[in-house]
């Protein structure tokens, strides 16, 4: 992915684009393919050749997943287990864009997308104009009276960090290199060190400049190759690793991630563990069509006079703005430089999140979002807009708002099964969709069939693929349970459906009376039924009227045939009039399949 920094026209250094050999050296498998025309975003120069990323519906078996992928010649080569996202390898002659589009339409999957990659072209390095003007602009010194971010861990998902930098070393905690799968998090490109200094450079040490949250911990997570580019899959692995290590804030200063379903899933995983993901809006200078994502805080850039930066991307996906011009911060060489771009707006907001968390550690991600957005300085059009989002971040007001919040939540999530509807008949692999929402955030949704747990989903939208062949045929009650971040559980109303995988009807036989028999008085009617699975119910109908029901494989009924007697033609003689009667036995199995047998008898 291309990092969200903008070149200063007065001084810059060119960064050559590295081709496949560099990608391999960086630990990225596969060559780059041409940028997809179908993705409306800035900075994308390609995607990983021969691969797509897919996320199946919760509950879909590996066997069924492989069956769906095999149609396109795909095979699973890596599983991002925490997110249940699979890296799928395609044949050499495959059209990745077409296959990703087809898989995205497949009802068995929550999403499918290309593993996009952007390489940076230019960065800025102008130490002569550096100053930390942005700290006062966002009210950081006033916020520091109450919080300096102490003990909060901020994961810097980037090109690595120079952990020996004198203005960073004291705040560094162990990180991870997801590209090479080791703990070497040295900065291979220079961008990550600059981002880390903005978020949490050491303060009050008489050296350089202070970061926004200058007593927060910096967790370097390298997600890029040697050329600074990064793929969706490596970013997602970095986010989940940081979440598992306890990071409460993660910063991702790369372009074109706000529209990725893979990144959104990773952000949801982080939120379920109490953390927030902050990303940059990008530097296209144009409007992007990404949708608003509740899992991600997207940040655009402002100037020193609170006007919108000309280089900043904008759109309805933007949540908040922060300074992004002339940001004085640490550089990988051990000194300081001036940088510009939404790459540096993003860590300002990440640092403010850390200040709020330190001031009120029990706040949920949803409460933190509410505090930072509601306290922002409204700029541009009144209310939320596509340029500034909720407004320019205000650290002092955000911390004040967070401190005043009461971190209690006793309200269970709201949840309901939206599909299938009541009375539906399910067979094979059946899709079940659930709505769940909670102010504190929903951490998981479980689906139950007759009070038996079937599958769990941890990321919105909550979508399941249930193998109904593993459930007994017949009436089934579906319920959903949603849990929020503090443990409250909400249960949906039951949706009653019928499981019907069995299509074979029961076989019925009537043992007595036999067809054509003449009956009189009380007759014992006996019948039985067999089924490939089991018989649920047997009904006896005489002349179309149900007179007896049995639950099982046999039925016995004492039938009083009655009789009709009339005066004969000769005086003193009585004659009984014979009539016919229809006897029908119906048998039904659990799936609702019905078999029957009938005989006609004569009553005297």
For 341-394, the pLDDT digits (tens) are: 999 999 999 999 999 999 999 899 999 999 999 999 999 999 999 999 999 999
**453 and 446 in contact (C-beta within 8 Å)?**
yes
489-491 and 474-484 strand pairing: antiparallel
Read off the pLDDT of residues 32-69 as tens digits, 9 standing for 90 and up.
Answer: 666 665 444 556 667 888 999 999 999 999 999 999 99
Output the CA–CA distances (angstroms, integers) from residue 473 to 328, 506, 535, in the order listed: 67, 14, 11
**322 and 245 in contact (C-beta within 8 Å)?**
no
E runs forming strands in 350-493: 414-419, 425-426, 429-437, 442-449, 452-457, 462-467, 474-484, 489-491
As given in the structure block, the two tokens for residue 161 are 């960090």
The segment(s) of the chain belonging to CATH 3.40.50.200 are: 125-404
Specify the CATH number of the domain 507-603: 2.60.40.10
158 is catalytic: yes
Q: CA-to-CA distance for 527 and 545, rounded, in angstroms? A: 17
The segment(s) of the chain belonging to CATH 2.60.40.10 are: 414-499, 507-603
Percent of the chain whose pLDDT exceeds 70? 88
pLDDT, position 204: 85
Fold classification of 125-404 is: Rossmann fold (3.40.50)
pLDDT, position 43: 61
176-177 and 474-484 strand pairing: unpaired
**502 and 532 in contact (C-beta within 8 Å)?**
yes
Q: CA-to-CA distance for 311 and 389, rounded, in angstroms? A: 16
Q: What is the DSSP string of 88-137?
A: EE--TT--HHHHHHHHHH-TTEEEEEEEEEE---EEE--GGG---HHHHH
pLDDT, position 316: 97
Q: CA-to-CA distance for 561 and 602, rounded, in angstroms? A: 10
Superfamily of chain region 12-118: Peptidase S8 propeptide/proteinase inhibitor I9 (3.30.70.80)
Active-site option among 72, 86, 165, 191: 191
**62 C-beta neighbours (distance < 10 Å), count:** 11
As given in the structure block, the two tokens for residue 521 are 């008085």
86 is catalytic: no
Averaged pLDDT for residues 544-570: 80
Averaged pLDDT for residues 511-519: 95
As given in the structure block, the two tokens for residue 82 are 């925490």
What percent helix, strand, coil does the chain show, rounded to 5? 20, 35, 45
**365 and 278 in contact (C-beta within 8 Å)?**
no
- Tell me the HSE value of 164 on the side-chain side, using a 13 A CA sphere: 5
> Which residues, other chains included, contact 222 with Cβ-Cβ below 8 Å and sequence gap of 6+?
158, 159, 160, 175, 176, 177, 178, 179, 180, 184, 185, 186, 188, 192, 238
Q: CA-to-CA distance for 112 and 106, rounded, in angstroms? A: 9
pLDDT, position 37: 54
Statement: 414-499 belongs to CATH 3.40.50.180 = no
Is pLDDT above 50 for 281?
Answer: yes
As given in the structure block, the two tokens for residue 109 are 């999957």
Binning pLDDT at 50, 70 and 90, where does residue 29 land? very low
Active-site option among 42, 158, 187, 502: 158
pLDDT, position 262: 96
pLDDT, position 46: 78
412 CB burial (10 A radius; 0-12, 13-18, 19+)? middle
Handedness of CA 58, 64, 67, 73 (dihedral sign): positive
Binning pLDDT at 50, 70 and 90, where does residue 19 land? very low
Binning pLDDT at 50, 70 and 90, where does residue 408 land? confident
Is pLDDT above 90 for 18?
Answer: no
The segment(s) of the chain belonging to CATH 3.30.70.80 are: 12-118
343 is catalytic: yes
Single pTM value for the model: 0.81
> What mean pLDDT is reported for the chain?
88
Active-site option among 216, 301, 312, 343: 343
């Amino acid at each position: 992915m291309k990092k969200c920094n903008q070149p200063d026209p007065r001084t810059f250094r060119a960064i050559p684009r590295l081709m496949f050999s560099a990608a391999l050296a960086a630990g990225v498998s596969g060559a780059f393919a041409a940028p997809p025309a179908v993705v409306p975003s800035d900075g994308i120069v390609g995607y990983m050749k021969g691969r797509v990323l897919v996320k199946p519906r919760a509950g879909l078996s590996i066997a069924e997943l492989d069956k769906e992928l095999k149609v396109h010649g795909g095979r699973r080569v890596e599983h991002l287990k925490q997110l249940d996202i699979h890296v799928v390898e395609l044949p050499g002659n495959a059209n990745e864009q077409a296959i990703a589009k087809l898989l995205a339409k497949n009802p068995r999957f929550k999403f499918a997308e290309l593993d996009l990659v952007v390489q940076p072209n230019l960065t800025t390095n102008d130490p002569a104009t550096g100053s930390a003007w942005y700290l006062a602009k966002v009210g950081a010194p006033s916020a520091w009276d109450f919080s300096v971010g102490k003990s909060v861990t901020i994961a810097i998902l980037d090109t690595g960090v120079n952990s020996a930098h004198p203005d960073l070393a004291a705040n560094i905690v162990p990180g991870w290199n997801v590209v090479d799968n080791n703990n070497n998090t040295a900065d291979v490109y220079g961008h990550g060190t600059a981002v880390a200094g903005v978020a949490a450079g050491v303060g009050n040490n008489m050296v350089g400049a202070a970061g926004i949250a200058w007593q927060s911990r910096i967790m370097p997570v390298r997600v890029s190759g040697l050329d600074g580019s990064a793929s969706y899959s490596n970013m997602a692995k970095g986010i989940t690793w940081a979440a598992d290590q306890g990071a409460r804030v993660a910063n991702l200063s790369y372009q074109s991630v706000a529209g990725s379903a893979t990144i959104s899933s990773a952000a949801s995983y982080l939120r379920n563990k109490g953390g927030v993901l902050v990303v940059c809006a990008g530097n296209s200078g144009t409007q992007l069509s990404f949708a608003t994502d509740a899992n991600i805080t997207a940040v655009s850039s402002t100037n020193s006079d609170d006007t919108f930066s000309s280089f900043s991307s904008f759109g309805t996906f933007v949540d908040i703005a922060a300074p992004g011009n002339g940001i004085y911060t640490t550089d990988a060489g051990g000194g300081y430089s001036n940088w510009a771009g939404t790459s540096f707006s993003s860590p300002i907001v990440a640092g403010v999140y850390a200040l709020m968390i330190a001031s009120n550690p029990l706040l949920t991600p949803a409460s933190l979002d509410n505090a930072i957005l509601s306290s922002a300085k409204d700029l541009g059009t009144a209310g939320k807009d596509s340029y500034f989002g909720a407004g320019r971040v205000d650290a002092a007001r955000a911390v004040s708002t967070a401190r005043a919040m009461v971190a209690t939540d006793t309200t269970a999530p709201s949840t309901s099964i939206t599909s299938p509807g009541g009375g539906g008949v399910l067979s094979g692999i059946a899709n079940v969709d659930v709505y769940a929402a909670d102010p504190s955030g929903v951490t998981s949704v479980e689906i139950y069939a007759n009070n038996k747990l079937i599958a769990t989903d941890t990321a919105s939208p909550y979508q399941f693929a249930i193998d109904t062949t593993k459930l007994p045929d017949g009436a089934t009650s579906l319920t959903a349970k949603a849990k929020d971040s503090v443990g409250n559980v909400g249960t949906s109303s039951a949706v009653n459906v019928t499981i019907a995988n069995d299509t074979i009807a029961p076989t019925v036989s009537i043992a007595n009376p036999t067809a054509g028999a003449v009956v009189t008085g009380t007759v014992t009617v006996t019948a039985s039924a067999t089924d490939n699975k089991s018989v649920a119910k047997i009904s006896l109908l005489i002349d179309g009227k149900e007179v007896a029901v049995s639950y099982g494989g046999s039925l016995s009924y004492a039938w009083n045939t009655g009789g009709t007697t009339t005066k004969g033609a000769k005086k003193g003689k009585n004659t009984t009039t014979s009539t016919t009667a229809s006897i029908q036995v119906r048998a039904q199995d659990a799936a609702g399949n019905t078999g029957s047998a009938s005989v006609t008898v004569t009553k005297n």
